[in-house]
Structures are given as structure tokens and as C-alpha cells.
Chains A and B, each alone.
Chain A
Amino acid sequence: MKYLFLVLENIRRNKTRSILTGLVTMVMVLVVTLVFTVLTALDKSMVEKQSNLKAIVTEKWQIPSMMPYSYASALSEGGAAPDDPDAARPEDYMSWGFFVGSTEENPAKRSFENLFFSFIMEPEKARTMLDEVDGLSDEEALPLTTAIQRMKDVPNGVIVGQERLDKMKKRVGDRITVFGRNYRDMNLELEIVGTFPREPARYADSSVISRDYFNRQLDAYQQSHNNKPHPMAEKTLGLVWLRLKDRKAFNKVSGQILASPSFTNPPVKIETSSTGIGGFLEAWRDIIWGVRWLMAPACLLTLSLVISNAISISVRERQLEFAVMKVLGFRPNQILMLVLAEALLIGTVSGLLSAGLTYLVVNGMGGLPFRIAFFPKFAVPLDALWWGAGMGALTAYMGSVGPARRARSVKVAEVFARVT
């Protein structure tokens, strides 16, 4: 305990230096925390799960994937032959198409602000199959389940994320006309029946319209155009998600789908969702590498240098004090530990404080707004608290071990010989 008081007293003695060292630690830990918030979320999304995994079926050779909707039924069964009792079948499925349009009628005035992007899917699957939504409790998912129920009575209903609602200046209950961009000459008259829960934030800008309703609109188009189908009529299926029990089921379903003659024009590929996401993130490979292996270590090294500088100056100033402590009976290693402890205390506390504030502030704002691929925002994980403390402690140790060793080797006779 006396030792701790000694450490605290030494820290208190030069408040300016201690505060400045603490501030540098907080600032650098903030940078690394933000960087690793993004990196760990991306890494997590690419970890291959061994059970309860999701597979994605898409067009084999092109993006955007555009398959005929007729594929959906057979894919939802995992490509299994109907009379095959040994076939593996998915536990659940979800099909996605994409409708991109604008709420602005005049093509010259269309912009990102009036852009409307919607999933075309089975509405009930939004609750059971959308990533992160499927993990919500019934209470947390209540806005969505209410909206899904409502869509049963309102076939032209649309569920819109809150951020998109705010941008469009609309509310639940309003009606909108969406002028198609990827489906030319198809305009949808929709009624906003509900919204996504606030968390997870990734769907805040998304919308969902019913697949049945969309198919009926395609039929209506055909009827009004001399029975000529829409040019995109056979390309409305973007991808199919399959929930599978484990890797064994994935391998079996893969084999079934790839061997099936039903999916040859166009051919399809199946991969786990983590592999699919990894493919898209490959474009960001170099910047991710640079940030992970250059920027983050540079921050920590800078912090170590600054701490080393500060502790070196402190040790230089306290040579007489260390000499007196040796005379009083302190052993060299105790002096080493004293210096290390001062640095570690400042580093650990500052790091923890920085990470804690980052966690509260960034998550309070709804997450770090930095769009990469399908990730619009990143939430700081609770693990950041121990990252912060750990980084602060590690850099403090690295920066102070040299000066602490010099403090340990202070020679009493030399110091007193200099004192006049």
C-alpha cells in the first residue's frame, strides 16, 4: 500500500507531465480503438462458422447476380430432388431481389437524397433470416414483426428503415410513388407500413417490399405492354440465403445444387456468407492491410516514444531522489518497479478511460459511420475496454522499461559527487 502511495505521489508531483502523458495515451488509444472497431467487425463477418451457418446462392460468373425467380423454389429446398429421402434440406431460406428507384419523378433531379433501395423478399423472412435481426428478442424486434403483420393486409406495403424515412421526410402510414431505375417503366405505389428496429443500425437505410406484390407488378406490366414481359422479368432474383445446420449439411446441399440441371442458365455458385462477404471485402484488402499493419502499430509506437521521452526526462530529473532511496535501503529492482508502476498506472488508466469514452460516445451516436461494402456503421464492442487498458499498459511498459533500467542503475556515489 505504501508503495502505491509512493507511485501516486510521484505521479501527482508533476501534474502537467502526468496529464500530458495521459492525454497522449488517450488520443492514440482512441485512434487504435476506432481502427480495430472496424477491423474486428470485418474479421468477425469473415469467420467461417461450423454450425448454424448461412449459405448464399448467387449467379456464378457475374455481379450483380441476376437469376430467374423460378430458381427460388428449388433453391429453397437446397436443390434436393423431391423424391430423395436422403437429401439435405435447409432449415430456412430467404430470397432477395433488388429494386432501385427514386421518389423523384423528374430524371434530371434524381440524386442520392431521393434514392430508394429496397429488398424484394418474403417479408416474414426478414425476422428469421436477416443477419443480426434473427438474433433479436421478440421485444426488440417488435416494430418489425408488427410491420410484417401489417403487410399481410396491405400487399403494397413497404417496411422502411428510420434513416431512409427521415431522408424522405415520410412517416409510417404515408404513401409514396417510387419510379424504377433498374426496372425501367415500372413505378410502384407503396404504403409505408412500418420500420426496422433501431438496432442493428445496418438496416436503417434499407427497405423491404413483398416478393408476391412485385411479381404481380411484373404481371401487370406484361398485360399493359401487349403481353410482352419486362426485359428484366427473368432476372429478378439476386440471391438466395439458406440456413444450414452445419458444414456437413452445407457440403451436401452444395453438391445437390451444383449437380442439379435446374440451375444452368445462368449457372450458380454457393458459398458461405462469410466467404461471400470476404470476396467483396477483397477490394479493400490493401487499405485494410495498411491500416492494420502500418497505421495501428505506428500509433502504438508513437505512444511508446512519447511515454519513453516523458519517463526518461522524469528519471533524469530524479537521479538524486533515486540515490537517496538507495541509501535508505530501496533495492535497485524496487526502484525499477516504481518507475514502471508509474508509467503503467498512467498508461492503463488513460487507455481504459479513452476506450470507455469511445465506447459510450460512438455507440451513443449509433455507431461509427464508415461505409464499407454492406456495413454502413460499426459499433464499438465491449472488448474495446480491455483493448484500451491493454494498449495503454503495453505501450507504457515498452516506453518505460529503458528509463526504468537506467533508474535502477543509478550510482549513489556518482550522484552525490555531482551535488554541490
Chain B
Amino acid sequence: MLLLTPFAAAPWALSTDSPILLGAVSFVALLLLVIIFIGKVPLSYNLMNLRVRWMTTLMTAGAFTLVVWVQTFMLAFVNGMYAMTDSTGQPGNILILSEGSTDETFSNLGFADATDLETQEGVLKVDGKALVSRETYLNVVQPIPDPKPGRPMRRFLQVRGVDEPSLSAQVHGMKLQAGSEWFTDAGVREVGKTGETAIEVVLGDGIARDLGADRKRDVLALAKNNSRLDVGEMFDVGGRQWVVTGVMEPTGSLYDSEIWTKQSQIGALFGKPNYTTFAVRADPDFRKDQRESFLESRRQKAEEAYRKALAEREADPTLPKPTLEVIKRPTSDDAWGAELLRDYFANEYTKSRFSPQVETTFFSAMTATNLQFLIAILFLCFIMSLGGVFGVMNTMFAAITQRTKDIGVMRLLGYKRWQILVSFLFESVMLAILGGLVGCALGSLVDGYTASSVVSGGPGGGKFIVLRMTVDFSTLAMGMLLAVVMGFLGGLIPSLSAMRLTALEALR
């Protein structure tokens, strides 16, 4: 259930047991209790005015609706990006790139590197076989068949060449959908009667949908699956035909945007015979007895580096302010194994120079673009919300001017100043809540839609992805919070001015 599923992906994530959320809800509930049962605030008068002046109510709430809807829609996009980067990677995996590489595209690893690596103690072995996926990652340019006028003629495909697909799938936790199978050892098959061959591929669910949209109407009419490419269908890349042997189950990860094929086929086709990446599953029991000392040693190194950076900053105040690296305790045996293995390859393994990273950390770091979009969206939504605040302020000032006599009568009836304040604030916040609810409802309609984007950790490299827009509990909570804050701020000054009216002034 969308509304009830907490989903802690993005920075604004609130889970249902979040103290912030519980505190806010408790405060509002208490306030309502005081207002309704203790405060004797003339709420029915405010509700009646909202009903009687329905046109004004609708227009003011409409403005809130639009602001909240835009925020919800944009946050759903960024949420999808965070969900993708955060859910990519197995906690027990490390990714090994060549030294100095921060991106798979620029990494270059040899055959001999893999052979020796597989014999290392910390690498998990199942039935005597090391769980090491040898991979070549490429960004391939594909001309788009029959591009629409004014649209680009090419797209970029993330292609991953692997030696043993079932082993790679085991390492990455990927599964095939029903009716699919992995590509053969040869990685090619004959298609047609003239002996022409096609490269066998398995598609991620997201890219299968993107490529599926290229199909012409007549092909689509005969297709097994209208929404995506399916087993047996073909497409052109690199001057060759590629045939789909399977589609992977969607995982919400970056691998959903990838095309997997035989490394020997694409290495030769694109002039990249070497590997770029080794994905290694760590033995969860690797150096189990050294866990605490490892953690302590990392903490000490982090503190030392921090003290050194502080001293350097004291000598040169122009240096950026240092931050203490937070060393998180791994929460599972898999994660412990991965951290210890990463440390081994980074500091002790000398036969080759690698750049090892825990897989989940590697992909989580690809949030630089996410953060940039998030900041931009929050900035624009903040400015739009200022517009909403001024708008409701305008409405409330007008309402108070028109109802000055009502205020005078209420004062004569014994309502105190603070009750007048709360009364008009309540009206303003109710307008905001009404608009916010409709805005959230409209914004939630985008949940599940796919969109394209790019994620990267910084300059150079990056992955073109197909993400799923995600409207979750946190996003809706942010929308309602925005609406309530706008309503509160917009109604505050007019309510204060209403509060200051004396009965005499009001009735004059």
C-alpha cells in the first residue's frame, strides 16, 4: 500500500516511527484537542465562512494544490533516483576496479588479476567455485531507429559483458523472469536462413521497456509483450543484431537499466578485451575474530586524519573545514565480510594495484546528481511556496477586512484575543490542508511511471538510467508539511492584525 509503506531512500525520508513525525502529529493532535474542547475557539464560524465563500476557498486552496503537486511530482523523480542508487548492490559484495579509477568506464583489469584474486582467502567459494564475476562495462551508442523529428538520433546503452552469466547473477542477486534463459557459452546464435548470427543478451527490466518503445506498430501488434522487449525479439547495436534470450526481474536497482551479454563478444566488438570490474562476494566469516580491532583501527585512523586536518586548517585558515569520518558498524555478517575484504585488497594485497569498494557504498556515492536535483527542486519549491504564502496572506487580509464586524461581535460575546488569533489561523491552515490533500492526491498519480535520467558521483563517468518515479509516505508527508507551513505563515500576520482589533474599532 503506497500510503502506508515507509520507504527510507532519500534524505527527507521519514519512517512511520520517526520521532520527528510522531512529535509533529502529537503536537497537532494536542493543539486540536485544546482548540476544540478547551479553547472554545469559534471553529464552526470559520468552517461556515469557508463554505459560504466557496469560490475564494477554492481559488486559495487551488494555489496550494498546485504548489504541493509540483513538489510531490519533482520529489517523486528524485526519490526514484535515490531509490535506484540506494538499492543497488549486495551488502556482501565488493567491486574491484583498477587503481585510481572511480568509474567502471575508465578501469582496466587483466585476466591474470582475476585468476589470482579468486584464490584469496576472503573470497566466498561455493562448491569450490569462487564467487567472482568478471565483467567488462561499456557505454555503447545506439542509433535510435526512426527517431522523431527534433529528437536525438542516438541513445547510450549500459552494456555489461560477463564471462559466466549465472555466476554473475548469483553475485549480484539478479534473477531471470519466467520464460527467460541466460545466453550460451558462445554468446551468439544463428538467426535467419543465411547463417547470420546475433549476439545473445539478457536485458534489465527498465531498458527492456525503453527499447520496447522503439518497435513499430506492425511489430508491436505481433509482440508477446507490448510494454517491453521480450525473449526472441531483436535490436541493432554496433552494426550487429542482438537477440533477447531473457529479461531480468526488476530489482529497482541500476542493473535494471543494463544489457548483459557475453564478455568475449562485446570485448572483441568494441575493442575492449580486458575487464573493467570484478564483483566479488566476500566470505561473511572472513577475519571474524578481527572485527572489533578492525573497527577500532578505522576509528583511530579517522580521528588521526581529522586531528591532522584540523592542525593544517589552523596553519592555513583558507583550507575547508574538516569533518570527522563516521565509521559505521556493519549490521550483518555479509557487510562485515565485505568491509574486511575491501580493507585487505586496499592495504595488504600487493600483487596488483586495485581500487576496491564495498558495492553498496560505490553506488550510494552516485548521488551527486541526485543531490544537485534535490537542491534545485527544494529551492524552486521554496520560492513557489513563498508565492503561496503571500497569496493566502492576501486572502486572509481581505477576509478579515470584510469580517471586521464579526470580530467585533465575537469580542463582545467574550472571545479573547488569542481565540480570535487561533480562529483565523485555523481557517488559513484548513485552506492549506484542503489544497495540500488534493495536491498530494494528484501528485501520487505519477507513482510507478518510468523516466530517464543520469546518476554520477562527480565529473567523468555516470550511468544513464531508467528509474521508477516513487511517491512514498515521506514524499506525501513533505507535501502536507509544506502546505501546513505555508498556511500557518500566510495566516499568521493577518490573524495577528485581527487579534489586535478592539470591539469598538471593529464595530465603528
Contacts and interface: CB of A to CB of B under 8 A. Distances in A.
A269 B154 CA distance: 11
B460 A113 contact: no
Contacts of A198: none
Given A275-B152, A286-B453, A371-B372, A112 B74 contact: no
Interface string B66-80: 110110011001000
A20 B397 contact: yes
A306 B387 contact: yes
A302 to B, nearest CB: 4
A34 B384 CA distance: 12
Contacts of A31: 380, 383-384, 387
A279 B152 contact: yes
Given A294-B70, A295-B70, A313 B395 contact: yes
A325 interface: no
Contacts of B239: 61, 267
B140 interface: yes
Interface stretch (A21-29, A79-87, A151-159, A213-221): A21-29
Interface residues on A, range: 35 or more
B453 A287 contact: yes
B454 A283 contact: yes
B126 interface: no
B270 interface: yes
Given A63-B141, A63-B156, A34 B380 contact: yes
A319 interface: no
Interface in A199-221: none
Contact of A284 (B63, B73, B155, B453): B453
Contacts of A305: 59-60, 62-63, 66, 391
Given A64-B105, A283-B156, A313-B398, A302 B388 contact: yes
B225 interface: no
Contact of A27 (B106, B153, B387): B387
Interface residues of B, number: 68
B67 A169 contact: no
B290 interface: no
Interface in B432-461: 451-454, 458-460
Contacts of A287: 77, 373, 451, 453
A377 interface: no
Contacts of A61: 140-141, 237-239, 269-270
Nearest to B379: A34
Contact of B452 (A30, A63, A285): A285
| Residue from the set A30, A62, A100 with the largest chain B CB neighbour count within 10 Å | A62
Contacts of A179: 100
A182 B106 contact: yes
Interface in A1-58: 16-17, 20-21, 23-24, 27-28, 30-31, 34-35
Contact of A184 (B99, B138, B151, B154): B99
Contact of B394 (A17, A34, A181): A17
B40 to A, nearest CB: 29
A323 to B, nearest CB: 18
B390 interface: yes
A302 B271 contact: no
A170 interface: no
A16 B46 CA distance: 23
Interface in B29-69: 55-56, 59-60, 62-63, 66-67, 69
Interface string B152-172: 111110000000000000000
A203 to B, nearest CB: 14
B387 A302 contact: yes
A273 interface: no
A371 B69 CA distance: 25
A303 interface: yes
A129 interface: no
A334 B453 CA distance: 53
A290 B141 contact: no
B355 interface: yes
A181 B106 CA distance: 9
Contacts of B454: 283-284
B394 A62 contact: no
21 contacts: A27-B387, A31-B380, A31-B383, A31-B384, A61-B141, A61-B239, A62-B138, A62-B270, A64-B105, A107-B100, A107-B355, A110-B100, A169-B318, A181-B102, A282-B152, A282-B156, A287-B77, A302-B66, A306-B391, A312-B59, A370-B372
Given A181-B101, A184-B108, 6 more contacts: A23-B386, A266-B270, A286-B452, A294-B73, A309-B63, A317-B401
